[in-house]
Structure 1
């Protein structure tokens, strides 16, 4: 784990881990379905008690995303919502709440298009605490570690059932905040079946790091979340379900649609 200034993720997630409290990090796409409603969705996440936020910037070729998030990305891009507007919206989110950890999920081309140093500076200025670069292998992390450290931003990495111990060690050289653990192989949000080897994977990771382990991919219900926690997770991440709920009730406010669901996901226990 690299050494840098303590972030909100480190403070919040590590404190919860030491107190054996379980966390919930909801995900949504910035700007979906438009900037105003997106802000309302994010405010509802915060007000419902989310541990932290994971917010994506729409990308034209989101390989890791399932059909729900891919469709949402297409919708968002069609409105003209871009990286500049994403940072403006992030500033609004940070102004709304000074304490919640904010993570950004992006693809590497977005960073390269802006310039690595500039992207991380803009992210830090907008109040971002961590960045997960979906398609950047840990072997290529050297391209961003200096910018991340200078900006005081955690690099978040994905660990999957296919991650070898050797690759995990490479990840741990650069990782801060928490690890995003994939519960199974595939793309996000496609079903609610989980790799039976998740418990073994979490045990293997815990033997090598004390970073909090948050499990995602296919986590839709409190029951799913409890299974992940029973397997040894420190918390869960979910996104596709949130977007589906908003899609299913287009004439209702995000608060009306999401509040009960989000609160049920936030009330996780051992």
Structure 2
């Protein structure tokens, strides 16, 4: 069981996000979700979308973001990096070029969001990369079926934001059902993980990792406090 800290690549500058990755690792984070800021992050809340916009104001050259990601990987070879990219960003970079970049630098785990259809996703999977799939707490049959057919980790909603499926009233029963469906790939839980006790809840439910987002991001101006919070989250693993 591990925690996954979110890194706003390029916010407020590419150099500062590179340094933040080092701080994450020093605090005990062993997995980092690193993004390509999107020009149209329509699935994000105002907070993350605002950070992406600021990053692109400072640098709108995706080549520079790629260089930074490679630099992070070289500096932190023991940290597992998960790459978040909107489909519109992949299209702007060029699907073939995006795939080549990920393969050449061993970025094998992709969170591909904002899909219009499955064309680009299928192309990325066919190239040998792993694409995650999202399963909401409602445990919708179509999402479970997509999870069964996917080749990447399952991103399981950690806490409900809508009505709960009475067949699976808690996270533990949700994860147990995914396992019963034959899913053996990692199940990482996120959305609603704001405190150390939430990480403990994910662990007790059988999750393989917990995404920790805004709680850490909002402490970026106070590095000692941020690192102390990461340690508290990590201790629950």
Which of the five TM-score ranges fits, normalised by the shorter chain? 0.7 to 0.9
Matched, 1:164 2:137: no
CA distance in 2, matches of 1:223, 1:103: 24
Change (3 A) 1:34 1:131: same
Counterpart among 40, 61, 78 of residue 57 in structure 2: 78
Aligned to 2:235: 267
What is the Cα deviation at residue 185 of structure 1?
5.3
Change (3 A) 1:80 1:95: same
Aligned to 1:95: 74
SS at match of 1:98: coil
CA distance in 2, matches of 1:184, 1:64: 18
Matched, 1:131 2:76: no
TM-score normalised according to structure 1 size: 0.77
Counterpart among 107, 120, 131 of residue 143 in structure 1: 120
CA distance in 2, matches of 1:172, 1:56: 25
Aligned to 1:179: 154
What is the Cα deviation at residue 149 of structure 1?
4.1
What is the Cα deviation at residue 105 of structure 1?
0.9
Counterpart among 231, 241, 245 of residue 219 in structure 2: 245
What is the Cα deviation at residue 163 of structure 1?
4.4
What is the Cα deviation at residue 99 of structure 1?
3.0
What is the CA deviation profile of residues 200-248 of structure 1, one whole-angstrom value per residue up to 9, with x for unaligned ones?
Answer: 32222121211221111121221121122223322200121121111xx
Change (3 A) 1:261 1:164: same
Aligned to 2:165: none
Change (3 A) 1:81 1:142: closer
SS at match of 1:245: coil
SS at match of 2:194: coil
What is the Cα deviation at residue 142 of structure 1?
4.7
Higher relative contact order (CA 8 A, sep 6+): 1
Conservation of the 8 A alpha-carbon contact between 1:51 and 1:100: yes
Conservation of the 8 A alpha-carbon contact between 1:27 and 1:53: yes
CA distance in 2, matches of 1:146, 1:134: 14
Aligned to 1:19: none
Counterpart among 178, 196, 200 of residue 222 in structure 1: 196
Show the 5 A alignment for 1:17-166.
22-136=1-115, 140-150=117-127, 152-166=128-142
SS at match of 1:84: helix
Change (3 A) 1:136 1:197: farther
What is the CA deviation profile of residues 12-59 of structure 1, one whole-angstrom value per residue up to 9, with x for unaligned ones?
Answer: xxxxxxxxxx11111111111111210111112222232321111212
CA distance in 1, matches of 2:208, 2:106: 24
The answer for unaligned runs of 5 or more in structure 1 is 1-21, 187-194
What is the CA deviation profile of residues 161-187 of structure 1, one whole-angstrom value per residue up to 9, with x for unaligned ones?
Answer: 2443343223332222x211112455x
Change (3 A) 1:129 1:222: same
SS at match of 1:42: helix
CA distance in 2, matches of 1:76, 1:38: 10
